[in-house]
Amino acid sequence: MNTNHNALGLRPARIVLNLFLAIGALAMAGPFIWMMFSSFKPLGEIFAQPPKLLPQEWHFDNYPRALAAADFGRGFFNSFYIAATVTLVSLLTSAMAAYAFARLRFFGRNSLFMAFLATMMVPMQLTVIPLYLVMGWLHWVDTHLALIVPAALFNAFGVFLLRQYIRGIPLELEEAAAIDGAGRVRIFLTIILPLLRTPMTALGIFVFLGQWNSFFHPLIFLNSDDKFTIPLLVNQFKGQYGSDWTSLMAAATLAAAPLLLIFVIAQRQIVEGIALSGSKT
């Protein structure tokens, strides 16, 4: 009887919580929904008063006009291969560094790890000038290497996330492999990496989304139109066609569509990645 009473007593609180969550979700999705429907409106309806969410006339020709105004095919290819390359290399380097910090004993390990984490507190705006000078010295300005190499080789958050997970893996697994004659490399490849599938999947999603959305570094390092990524193309589109808001909304929707698709497919891994970032200390 008390159990039923408690269950009934919790229902109003759960309803209120779900209501607040629904309002928050709607507030977060509201700008994207407005952008998507605005991409089908004629120009006069975007600034109509009072504003209306659904278009009175559906103009599907906004998308062909946006695709004709900028080379989105090249932009999608550039963004995808840069993001995919950075993700794959970053996962490998982060896993290797995380294993070293979690398992290998060497002088100054903890101090070095703390210094490594301290780099996360340095704003990227402070490092862009030295980075630009280094890229210029390497003759990588206006090349995709300036975007791929620094991002792929150094990911402090990824090292932290994977290190926390590796510390939770029983040490007995590695000791048993070492007794059978396995070295550090074989232990890392055959034992550690397979057990890191869940955090590496979540980290890979974060890295890919971050690179796809990256605007600051491509703006600094890229000058040629054929090397532009999707965010730069949308920005260029706005500069050239600032008054054509319907085509701009269509271009922004095209840029955001792959991210929405990734979120729908991998939302469970994204939630797990957020939980894993603080689950093990």
User: Domain of 214: which CATH number?
Assistant: 1.10.3720.10
Q: Mean per-residue pLDDT for 68-81?
A: 87
Between 252 and 277, the more confident residue is: 252
What is the domain extent for residue 244? 63-276
Query: Which positions ≥6 away from 220 have C-beta within 8 Å?
Result: 128, 132
Residue 58 belongs to some domain of the structure: no
The chain-wide mean pLDDT, for the chain, equals 83
CA dihedral 186, 189, 195, 201 (to 10 degrees): 170
224 and 129 inside one domain: yes
Helix, coil or strand: residue 167: coil
Query: What is the total count of domains within the chain?
Result: 2
Percent helix, strand, coil in the chain, to 5, is 80, 0, 20
With 50 as the cut, is the pLDDT of residue 5 above it?
A: no
Residue percentage of the chain with pLDDT more than 70: 90
User: pTM here?
Assistant: 0.80
- Cis ω on the peptide bond leading into residue 218 (within 30° of 0)? no
Query: Is 44 inside any structural domain?
Result: no
Higher pLDDT, 82 or 59: 82
Q: What is the DSSP letter of 239?
A: H
What is the band of 242 on the pLDDT scale with cuts at 50, 70, 90? Answer: low
Structure tokens at 76: 């999608």
Residue 260 has what pLDDT? Answer: 80
Whether 118 is in a domain gets the answer: yes
Residues 135 and 34 occupy one common structural domain:
no
Given this model, what pLDDT does residue 241 score? 52
- Is 50 exceeded by the pLDDT of residue 180? yes
Asked if pLDDT for residue 34 goes beyond 90, the answer is no
Mean pLDDT confidence for 205-212: 89
Would residue 105 count as lying in a domain?
yes
Residues 176 and 219 in one domain: yes
| 29 and 135 fall within a common domain | no
pLDDT for 272 equals 67
Element (H, E) at 110: helix 109-118
- Per-residue model confidence (pLDDT) at position 134: 93
Are both 167 and 229 inside the same structural domain? Answer: yes
1 compared with 27, residue with greater pLDDT:
27
Indicate whether 233 belongs to any domain.
Answer: yes
Q: Do residues 8 and 97 both lie within one domain?
A: no
**What pLDDT shows up at residue 20?**
87
Does pLDDT of 7 surpass 80?
A: no
Give the pLDDT confidence of 211-223 residue by residue, as tens digits: 998 999 999 999 9
Within a domain: residue 226? Answer: yes
Summarised one tens digit per residue, pLDDT across range 246-264 is 888 888 888 888 888 877 7
Residue 199 lies in a domain: yes
Looking at the fold, whether 269 and 139 belong to one and the same domain comes out as: yes
242 versus 225: the higher-pLDDT residue is 225
Question: Are 77 and 34 members of one domain?
Answer: no
18 and 148 in a single domain? The answer is: no
Q: What is the pLDDT of residues 112-142, one digit of tens each?
A: 888 888 888 888 888 889 999 999 999 999 9
Note whether residue 45 is domain-resident: no
Model confidence at 240, pLDDT cuts 50, 70, 90, reads low
Same domain (yes/no): 25, 151: no
Same structural domain, 218 and 170: yes
The pLDDT of residue 91 = 93
1 has pLDDT over 50: no
47 against 170, higher pLDDT: 170
CA 155 to chain centre: 13
- Statement to judge: residues 73 and 201 lie in one domain: yes
